[in-house]
Amino acid sequence: MYGGMCPTCKRDLTDGVCLYCISAAELRDAMNYTPHRIRIPDDCVVEMTVPLDDSEKASDSTRDRQSEQAPEDGSRTSPDIPLVTCVMQDEVITNTSLNPVIGVLDVDNAGDAALLTVNLLLEDRRVYRSTFRAQGGRSRLDLRLSASLIRSSDSNIRTVTVIVEADGREIARQTSAIRVRAVNDLPLTRMQDEIPRCITPSCREIREMLAGDGPIMAALQRIRPDDIRGLEMGCIDKVSDELTTDSLQAYQFSNPVERLANVMAQAMAVFNALSEMGLKYVDFTSSEGSGQYEFQRVNLPRETLREKRGVCLDFSCLVASVLEGMGLNPVLVFPPGHAMVGVIVSSDRIPYVGNVDYSRCRFIHEMEVETGDGHKDRIQAVFMESTLIGRSSFAYSLKRADEKIEESMKAIMSKRRYTVVYFRRRYGGVLPLESSPRDIGGRK
């Protein structure tokens, strides 16, 4: 139900889940696990109250805090009035189908169920008013605003005010300045941590490329052992003529030479297939902002395929998406002002990749990287210059990437300007924008 057309009501599902025919249970699961995939009308605000404490009465300390709150006129606040704490986000990320959480109301109710009214003001203009019932004990209310409301073409700083009322009396108010950015605007200072969101191996366009009659398989079936030997990597120059290169094998070969040769054949097929699709590299600067808030706009792979053009980062995300969809592990590096993609051929921590010393092979680079789960891994990878897609050969792209890596490896490693896309990172909150945990479940 992700992408395309809803099979039930035939409505557009380009950016989200169909809310016209989805059941309540499915909607709740979608909200819990894939909030970036939910399409909600622009004038809608989603509320979800989550019980935090099953006790019917709040603690004595809560009652004491409430009794100490007194208005300026000297009258005391009733202990039945809930204590409301509002915490606003510093930064929210949106796209056209994402209603981001802008803040959280924490309600501590010492009395019975109370009816509260929530008002949301955007730049002093009320954009939402609703009531909800706060049960006894503690509960939480997530506040969401429509992407069309919170995003602005003239400023990425929005002032949002939350006002909570009980029995016509204001009991809480919070005004905050929130920085808003698009879902594919990646901060340059956190590029290596957030770029996995833009690597989308499960999106419909990538799956179509990897289908049995797709362009990747067609390009792979045209590759012969002589093409692999022509890469002049040294260690695979004597690969057997019987090497099978007509199917997606990932890392399945047990022989290290055959495994490397097959991985290179698959990477070559990706490069050739994208070249045949007419993709064009464009050289322009797409970064905005300044200082720590400088970011770069990144096209998702489906956008790059649709527009048939992109910058180095767009092409790197596209190639990485295809590689991961094939079962290979991509790695991205960010030399100053540039981005390149490679494929891992050896690893200490990825069991199915295997730990083989290819250091004597040409174009192989060794890196000691952080895995994202508190560990380090020693990997070996082959990089390609994705900006040469459609302009040169795969062999020349390896040569150009090798030269660039040699020049920039010290800066890349010292400033951790790299991203290794382990499958396990998908479970650490770095989910692809166009997939759900169900799409990648079971792959460790």
Q: What single string gives the DSSP state of each residue in 29-60?
A: HHHHH-GGGB---TT-----EEE----SS--H
Positions of the chain with pLDDT lower than 70, given as ranges? 1-80, 95-98, 153-155, 284-293, 423-431, 434-444
pLDDT at residue 295 in the model: 77
How high is the pLDDT of residue 72? 45
- DSSP string for residues in 73-138: TSPPPPTTSPEEEEEE-SEEEE-TT---EEEEEEEEESSS-EEEEEEEEETTEEEEEEEEEE-SEE
Residue 161 pLDDT: 92
β-strand pairing of 114-122 with 137-144: unpaired
Give residue 209's pLDDT. 94
Instruction: Return the domain boundaries, the chain.
Output: 1-38, 40-181, 185-440
Q: Which CATH code is given to the segment(s) 40-181?
A: 2.60.40.2550
User: Residue 172 in contact with residue 84, Cβ under 8 Å?
Assistant: yes
Retrieve residue 309's tokens: 């053009």
Which one-letter amino acid corresponds to residue 188?
Answer: L
pLDDT at 362: 93
Q: Quick one: DSSP state of residue 414?
A: H
Q: Is 291 left (phi over 0), alpha (psi -120 to 50) or beta?
A: left
Distance, CA of 165 to CA of 309 (rounded, Å): 52
- Contact between 116 and 106 (Cβ < 8 Å): no
Q: CA dihedral in degrees (18, 19, 22, 26; nearest 10)?
A: 100
pTM: 0.68
Strand order in the sheet with 91-94: 91-94, 169-182, 157-166, 114-122, 125-134
The CA distance from 427 to 421, in Å, is: 12
Cα 282 to Cα 177: distance, rounded to the nearest angstrom: 36
Residue type, 121: L
CA angle 422, 426, 432 (to 5 degrees): 110
For the stretch 333-388, pLDDT in tens is: 999 889 999 999 999 988 889 899 998 999 999 999 987 777 889 999 999 999 99
Pairing of strands 376-384, 340-347: antiparallel
What is the predicted pLDDT for the residue at 53? 38
Query: Rounded to whole angstroms, how far apart are CA atoms 38 and 29?
Result: 11
Token pair belonging to 10 = 């035939």
Residues 6 or more apart whose CB falls under 8 angstroms from that of 8 comprise 18, 21
Supply the pLDDT for residue 426.
59
Determine phi and psi for 239, rounding to 5 degrees: -65, 145
Rounded-to-integer distance, Cα 310 and Cα 317, Å = 10
| Distances in whole angstroms, Cα of residue 357 to Cα of each of 218, 267, 282, 361 | 31, 20, 37, 9
User: Are 83 and 62 contacting, i.e. CB atoms less than 8 angstroms apart?
Assistant: yes
The CA dihedral of 401, 403, 408, 413, to the nearest 10 degrees, is 60
Query: Running DSSP on this structure, what letter comes out for residue 5?
Result: B
Are 432 and 426 a contacting pair, CB within 8 Å? Answer: yes
What is the model's pLDDT at position 397? 97
Task: Give me the pLDDT at residue 378, please.
Answer: 94
What DSSP line would sit under 191-206, residue for residue?
HHHHGGGG--TTSHHH
Q: What is the pLDDT of residue 291?
A: 53
Q: What is the pLDDT of residue 155?
A: 67
Task: Answer for the pair 122, 145: CB distance below 8 angstroms, yes or no.
Answer: yes
- Provide CB contacts within 8 A for 323, sequence distance 6+: 266, 267, 270, 329, 330, 341, 343
- Cα distances from 203 to residues 200, 318, 440, in angstroms, run 6, 11, 11
What pLDDT is attached to residue 17? 47
The two tokens of residue 413 are 């490693």
Instruction: Tell me what pLDDT residue 425 has.
Output: 58
Copy the structure tokens of residue 298: 């990144």
Among candidate residues 266, 303, 63, 69, the one with its CA nearest the CA of residue 182: 303
